[in-house]
Chains A and B, each alone.
Chain A
Amino acid sequence: AQSVTQLGSHVSVSEGALVLLRCNYSSSVPPYLFWYVQYPNQGLQLLLKYTSAATLVKGINGFEAEFKKSETSFHLTKPSAHMSDAAEYFCAVNTGFQKLVFGTGTRLLVSP
């Protein structure tokens, strides 16, 4: 069965520092992978997705993620954190028939 593991329920960075949020997946078929962001009191917004085209995927707000099949990973990065990036981030894998299975989320804290 498809699943997603997000390492670290909380990640703290300073403004301007590199952001790295980790996601590992398990899938018996070539996966579709997604990163979503949730700002306080809001729904989930799609950041980016991997759909088997380019392995390096660029998303909104300067985020990108690299699909590494050998490592079964899809880590999310941003070169320089901004205060407005503080939010909860969810990695998800599509299991087929449009069903998404989500990780448990990583809360990103950005300090001045």
Chain B
Amino acid sequence: EAQVTQNPRYLITVTGKKLTVTCSQNMNHEYMSWYRQDPGLGLRQIYYSMNVEVTDKGDVPEGYKVSRKEKRNFPLILESPSPNQTSLYFCASSPRQANYGYTFGSGTRLTVV
């Protein structure tokens, strides 16, 4: 089944403790992206990657890192999480064509206390 897989689904952590949210897609898509969803703000892009070893900042990149060492994986790293990073996070992937749209993962609900 074609899908984007995120782990974990739920995560509670403490301020300053490094964490990684994994994302993997099995559709051989070139483009991958991370979004965060907050009430009243919709989805905002954090980082994206056009292909292996090619990443760039989205609209809200502060406090996040990403890497794209393999085409299928695009982990999101929070090196020192803070409470304002409490949010619902989505990974998405797309082929090169701009009119295709995204396939989304099921989301990771992160709480930083």
Chain A contact residues, CB within 8 Å of chain B: 9, 32, 34, 36, 41-46, 49, 51-52, 90, 94, 96-105
Contacts and interface: CB of A to CB of B under 8 A. Distances in A.
Given A42-B106, A43-B106, A49 B101 contact: yes
Nearest to A6: B42
A32 B107 contact: no
B50 A97 contact: yes
Interface residues of B, number: 27
18 contacts: A43-B107, A44-B92, A46-B101, A46-B102, A49-B99, A52-B99, A94-B98, A94-B99, A97-B50, A98-B50, A98-B94, A98-B96, A98-B98, A100-B45, A100-B102, A101-B45, A102-B42, A104-B42
Contacts of B50: 97-98
Interface of B: 4, 31, 33, 35, 40-45, 48, 50, 58, 90, 92, 94, 96, 98-107
A33 B92 CA distance: 17
Interface SS of B by simple majority = strand
Contact of B104 (A41, A45, A99, A105): A45
Contacts of A100: 33, 45, 101-102
B48 to A, nearest CB: 7
A100 B42 CA distance: 12
Contact of A105 (B42, B92, B99, B101): B42
Contacts of A98: 31, 33, 48, 50, 94, 96, 98, 100
Nearest to A44: B104
A101 B48 CA distance: 13
A34 B90 contact: no
